[in-house]
A and B are shown apart, each in its own frame.
Chain A
């Protein structure tokens, strides 16, 4: 069962290519994460999926409807939570939800009951008559989710949902998203630049420079790298890198002050390295590859390097 089918989707803002030939399928009832650095194209993908931007090139089918011709059908079936708040801050929480309900054709007692249910589920009932302005960031975010879920969408799109949330609230948010998937079979698509968040997704797509560079479950992605990952901090990383290459025949990758080596049986290499260069190495750590390692392996650059290229 496919929820979203994206075929050769490209999108450009003037000269700048934000999405470049992305092909991707998202299944029904999964939590799918779009992971990538800022400016990688994930927000553009989100905008196309949420019908804010038209499809410039390629084809996108959401819940069986072609985006190019049936965006109205798509709009009725999706719930969207933006990165920026979309609540009217001069209205109360409940007024916001009533307004949202009306926009989706809900009204009267049915709407009222639905609002009560969402408020209760998200623990917002006692604040429903407060002006949105007066709510804390965490509560506002929860209210955004309540808003996006009000019309029982089959697909929930969330753009960087944890922005500005403290760890506790972030945890609650994810518990709620997974609950939606398990109890209501809702398909959830989340964009994120947080590795920790990406780990919670059923499957992930990695976007960089508008291209889909990897696709799979977090475990599959890590398995693609294989083996262990060594991170070495050194005073003079360049020189150390050369010496490691001479002595062990391995080419470490250099990132700022640190070196990275992917290697099966990493613990043996660790021992040999420390013995060989006791003075040059400041610290060394050995770990299973993280999603960040996957990203580095696929792109050859670090995740955060291109932050400046943010499209906002």
Chain B
């Protein structure tokens, strides 16, 4: 039996691609701002890290060759903390996939006539926006700490174009990290499992990205860091944040901006494709 086509036109609106993305993004934001502790946690911890490590490691920090004269550890650490905020926010927003699945919400979305890619993009856009909002707050609050003596003067000298480039790049990093978290969350059935992966995989990935200490010029560690996609996210951000470093010579601990951009785009592409592919499969893990 074939359905009556006139009836079909009357009754169903066309499947939209953008509307589901919009609504899933909006939900992500609404949920986030209704949980105040999440807002505090994702921003507070990195901010404290920045101040405490900045104070504690000031004496032992050896600035890398490319660093401008007199660079303090806190200045060095600044892009790293920004990436940490993006990482935490992006990753925690994807844990909600596991919660959504357990609470049943995800099933409701899966049986809706939503293209699977729209589902993925909705979640990723939500996570990315949250990460950007948090990072922006840090970029404003961080430098203000100099007035209470908790931070050095960062000497922001960015033009509007520079700001836009930086935010755009941060957006790319956030998108890639959210997609990474999404892929992990999609394949796991407990938040405990997610936390375990977080401490053995995501934290080391951040630590070994040049955000916490400079990439050494040789040795096995330098190779791990060169293979780490996040290294290019941190380095790119470093170059974009400071006009002094924009033209600094290329070294293994500070790759060129073009390299950073290509590597980050590649990272983003791989994780998004992975997230899309995982979602496309119908799997038993999603039915409870």
Please list the 7 inter-chain residue pairs (A to B) with the smallest Cβ-Cβ separation, ordered nearest first: A86-B108, A102-B23, A84-B104, A105-B13, A75-B113, A103-B112, A76-B113
Binary A-proximity of B1-32 (CB < 8 A = 1, otherwise 0): 11100000001111110011011001100110
- Total A-B pairs, Cβ < 8 A: 100
Binary B-proximity of A32-66 (CB < 8 A = 1, otherwise 0): 00000000000000010011111000000001110
Smallest Cβ-Cβ distance to B286: which chain A residue: A52
CB distance from A55 to the nearest CB of B (A): 10
- Of A50, A84, A152, the residue contacting B288 (CB under 8 A) is A84
Smallest Cβ-Cβ distance to B22: which chain A residue: A102
Complex CA–CA separation, A76 to B7 (angstroms): 13
Smallest Cβ-Cβ distance to B101: which chain A residue: A84
CB distance from B5 to the nearest CB of A (A): 12
Complex CA–CA separation, A63 to B8 (angstroms): 12
Does the CB pair B105–A88 fall under 8 Å? Answer: yes
Smallest Cβ-Cβ distance to B114: which chain A residue: A103
Q: Which of B31, B104, B284 has the most CB of A within 10 A?
A: B104
Does the CB pair B107–A88 fall under 8 Å? Answer: no
* Residue B34 interfacial (CB < 8 Å): yes
With contacts A75-B113, A95-B30 taken as known, whether A64 is within 8 angstroms of B3 at the C-beta atoms is yes
Q: Which of A80, A90, A103, A312 has the most CB of B within 10 A?
A: A103
CB distance from A283 to the nearest CB of B (A): 42
Complex CA–CA separation, A51 to B23 (angstroms): 22
Report 10 cross-chain contacts, Cβ distance below 8 Å, ordered by A residue. A51-B110, A72-B15, A75-B112, A76-B113, A84-B107, A86-B104, A100-B108, A103-B114, A105-B113, A106-B13
Contacts of B12 in A (CB 8 A): 76-77, 105, 151
* Residue B109 interfacial (CB < 8 Å): yes
Does the CB pair B31–A90 fall under 8 Å? Answer: yes
Does the CB pair A102–B20 fall under 8 Å? Answer: yes
Given A105-B12, A105-B14, 4 new contacts (CB under 8 A): A64-B3, A76-B12, A89-B103, A90-B35
Does the CB pair A2–B112 fall under 8 Å? Answer: no
- Of B16, B26, B30, B110, the residue contacting A52 (CB under 8 A) is B110
Interface size (B, Cβ < 8 Å)? 37
Does the CB pair B3–A80 fall under 8 Å? Answer: no
With contacts A89-B103, A90-B31, A102-B22 taken as known, whether A82 is within 8 angstroms of B15 at the C-beta atoms is no
Contacts of A54 in B (CB 8 A): 282
Complex CA–CA separation, A131 to B188 (angstroms): 28
With contacts A91-B30, A99-B23 taken as known, whether A51 is within 8 angstroms of B111 at the C-beta atoms is yes
Complex CA–CA separation, A151 to B114 (angstroms): 14
Complex CA–CA separation, A80 to B287 (angstroms): 13
Complex CA–CA separation, A54 to B26 (angstroms): 30
* Residue A206 interfacial (CB < 8 Å): no
Does the CB pair B15–A76 fall under 8 Å? Answer: yes
Contacts of A103 in B (CB 8 A): 19-20, 23, 109, 112-114
Does the CB pair B27–A107 fall under 8 Å? Answer: no
* Residue A78 interfacial (CB < 8 Å): yes
Smallest Cβ-Cβ distance to B4: which chain A residue: A64
- Of B13, B20, B27, the residue contacting A91 (CB under 8 A) is B27
* Residue A87 interfacial (CB < 8 Å): yes
Binary B-proximity of A123-155 (CB < 8 A = 1, otherwise 0): 000000000000000000000000100011000
Binary A-proximity of B175-209 (CB < 8 A = 1, otherwise 0): 00000000000000000000000000000000000
With contacts A64-B1, A90-B35, A91-B31 taken as known, whether A102 is within 8 angstroms of B104 at the C-beta atoms is no
CB distance from A161 to the nearest CB of B (A): 14
Complex CA–CA separation, A80 to B286 (angstroms): 15
Contacts of B34 in A (CB 8 A): 90
Within B150-175, which residues are at the interface with A (CB < 8 Å)?
none
Complex CA–CA separation, A102 to B112 (angstroms): 10
Smallest Cβ-Cβ distance to A2: which chain B residue: B1
Within B25-78, which residues are at the interface with A (CB < 8 Å)?
26-27, 30-31, 34-35
Does the CB pair A80–B111 fall under 8 Å? Answer: yes
Contacts of A64 in B (CB 8 A): 1-3
CB distance from B107 to the nearest CB of A (A): 5
Contacts of A76 in B (CB 8 A): 12, 15, 113
Q: Which of B1, B23, B113 has the most CB of A within 10 A?
A: B113
Complex CA–CA separation, A102 to B19 (angstroms): 6
Complex CA–CA separation, A204 to B110 (angstroms): 28
Complex CA–CA separation, A88 to B114 (angstroms): 18
CB distance from A16 to the nearest CB of B (A): 11
Contacts of A105 in B (CB 8 A): 12-16, 19, 113
Complex CA–CA separation, A88 to B104 (angstroms): 9
Does the CB pair A86–B107 fall under 8 Å? Answer: yes
Complex CA–CA separation, A105 to B14 (angstroms): 7
Smallest Cβ-Cβ distance to B281: which chain A residue: A54
Contacts of B111 in A (CB 8 A): 50-52, 75, 78, 80
* Residue A13 interfacial (CB < 8 Å): yes
Contacts of B23 in A (CB 8 A): 98-99, 102-103
